[in-house]
Amino acid sequence: MGIFRNIRKKSNQTYSALPGQTSTHEVSKSLEENLDAVTQSLGTSEDIIIRRFHINGEVDAAIVFVDGLVERISLQDFILKMMMTERDVNPQKDKRKYIDYLKEQAISIGEVRDLPDFRKILNFILSGETAIFVEGYPTGIIASTRGWEHREVTEPTTENVIRGPKEAFTENIRTNTSLLRRKIKDPRFRIENKIIGNHTNTDIAVISIDTVTNEKVLKEVHERLDRIDIDAILESAYIEELIEDSTSSPFPTVFNSERPDVVAAALLEGRVAILVDGTPFVLVVPALFIHYFQSPEDYYERSFFGIIRILRFFAFLSALLVPSIYIALTTFHQEMIPTALLVDLAAQRDGIPFPALVEAFIMEITFEILREAGIRMPRAVGQAISIVGALVLGQAAVQAGLVSPTMVIVVSITAISNFVFPSYDMAISVRILRFGYMILAATFGLFGIAVGMFLLLLHLCSLRSFGVPYMSPVAPFNLSDQEDAIFRMPLKFLIHRPRLISQVNTTRQAIKYGKNKS
């Protein structure tokens, strides 16, 4: 037996190979050689368990598993106990036939399969499965025994609604796929698995619905995922950054959600979902600009309340432009302010040592620090720190003559508007751009704000998400898709899926509504 040699292939895995084995790392007929290969590949870690036993008291065998990743009851009752029980069949007479008999009638576990590739066997062991090696049998047997501890399904923490489902994804990818399966009971529901990460070997699931999902988008998703060659995938944000269309844009082009109903609705519109093991946030592509202003509650309340979505667009403009407009008016365009208000503002700013831009920067940066502190603090005191801190510091700053009371009001309105967005990613984008508009307003006044908005619109119209224009259905304008864009029409009028997303089956319901004629 010679020396092990390391081989690194594009399969994102690195294991030791036995000499004399083929390039596919086939399992040896010798039980000792297979166990030595496992030991040299996985090391002598305490959680790597190798249990030797005899089949029918005659044939040497062993199981290999990772303690903490397997379900012990299944391992003991349905594998060890069943294989160690003596039977009338003679294993020495026809070993392969006897092993097939054990797999088909003795091992009462959910999934059992043969694997001749040693690489794949090691990967399954590290994923919570149990490998069975038998002396003289040139194939490893993989039994499904995954059973590690995981968080139960709980309420969403970032996408709360008053009316609607109260369940959220967990860190277990199989729990997440089952949550989606429960909502979409369609035989055309498709799950395609991948493994990404040279060291983490993270399970990835690409979910789509046949006859609804655009094949070009699905193919593009697979191509971008297949191009990823990285050591570790610890959260879906890794995948998001590696597959998004533009990493230099402040606007997200890959949507994420922790709500199964949101992802199910996106799949039914023709989008593709990407699930990553170890995170409760599921990626959805393509993602459009209006997607980030839609809340699941828009569809659970009566259509009249769907008009509230317009309020979110006003909140977007308010969070983006209110400080810059205040700076522009007080610095360059005082003639646009009513006289009584202008006199009041002048009295408030009397004695303030800073220009409006510096004053706004002080308050905005202070509020951002308080916001981040509230997020990082323990949950019991985090909200109290952010709210009380803002009130105390704002009042103290006014009394100390560092900022004007009006500036405190402006920053407060801006901060509250920032919390209106259903998507936290879009809120971060607005927080970043706000400082740029403040500088433009202090430099060029309203003209600078107008130029900034023009450049912003050009940038948004130039973005694409997996081939779909980011600003659709507004630009390019699509009349039929306006039924669920700026506001939501009643459900009976939502006849078609978004045309630029689902180009295969664009009809989602038949027109069967109306009053019965007497």
pLDDT at 481: 78
Supply 235's token pair: 């959260």
Return left, alpha or beta for 136; rule: phi > 0 is left, psi -120 to 50 is alpha, else beta: left
The set of residues, in sequence order, having a beta carbon less than 8 Å from that of 224 and lying 6+ positions away, is: 242, 243
Strands (E), 253-348: 255-257, 272-276, 282-285
In Å, how far are 47, 59, 231, 311, 323 from 98, measured between CA atoms? 31, 11, 41, 70, 78
The residue type found at 281 is: F
Q: In this structure, are residues 149 and 48 in contact, taking their beta carbons and an 8 Å threshold?
A: no
Q: In this structure, are residues 217 and 503 in contact, taking their beta carbons and an 8 Å threshold?
A: no
**Closest C-alpha among 134, 171, 174, 140 to residue 154:** 171
The single-letter DSSP state of residue 3 is -
Hey, where are the domains in the chain?
5-143, 173-287, 303-469
Give residue-wise pLDDT tens across range 409-440. 898 899 889 888 888 889 899 999 999 999 99
Quick one: 486 exposed, middle or buried, by C-beta within 10 A (0-12, 13-18, 19+)?
Answer: middle
In Å, how far are 195, 226, 233, 243, 283 from 229, measured between CA atoms? 11, 8, 10, 12, 19
Cβ density class 6-20: b for 16+ within 10 Å, e for less: eeeeeebbebbbbee
**Measured distance CA(362)–CA(365) in Å, rounded:** 5
The single-letter DSSP state of residue 516 is P
**Measured distance CA(482)–CA(498) in Å, rounded:** 9
pLDDT at 54: 83
**Closest C-alpha among 454, 449, 452, 443 to residue 332:** 443
The set of residues, in sequence order, having a beta carbon less than 8 Å from that of 351 and lying 6+ positions away, is: 401
**Closest C-alpha among 106, 74, 104, 62 to residue 88:** 106
What are the contacts of 348-353 at 24+ separation with CB within 8 A? 348/404, 348/405, 348/406, 349/404, 351/401, 352/401, 352/402, 352/403, 352/404, 353/401, 353/402
pLDDT at 209: 92
Supply 190's token pair: 């498709």
pLDDT at 509: 76
The set of residues, in sequence order, having a beta carbon less than 8 Å from that of 358 and lying 6+ positions away, is: none
**Measured distance CA(415)–CA(318) in Å, rounded:** 9
Supply 55's token pair: 């089949």
pTM, rounded to two decimals:
0.83
Supply 451's token pair: 């130029």
pLDDT at 6: 34
**Measured distance CA(364)–CA(432) in Å, rounded:** 11
- Return the HEC string of 349-407: HCCCCCCHHHHHHHHHHHHHHHHHHHHHCCHHHHHHHHHHHHHHHHHHHHHCCCCCHHH
The single-letter DSSP state of residue 27 is P
Cβ density class 54-72: b for 16+ within 10 Å, e for less: ebbeebebbbbbbeebbbe
Please identify every stretch of the chain with a pLDDT value under 70, giving residue numbers as ranges.
Answer: 1-24, 86-96, 105-106, 108, 305, 379-391, 503, 511-518
pLDDT at 348: 85
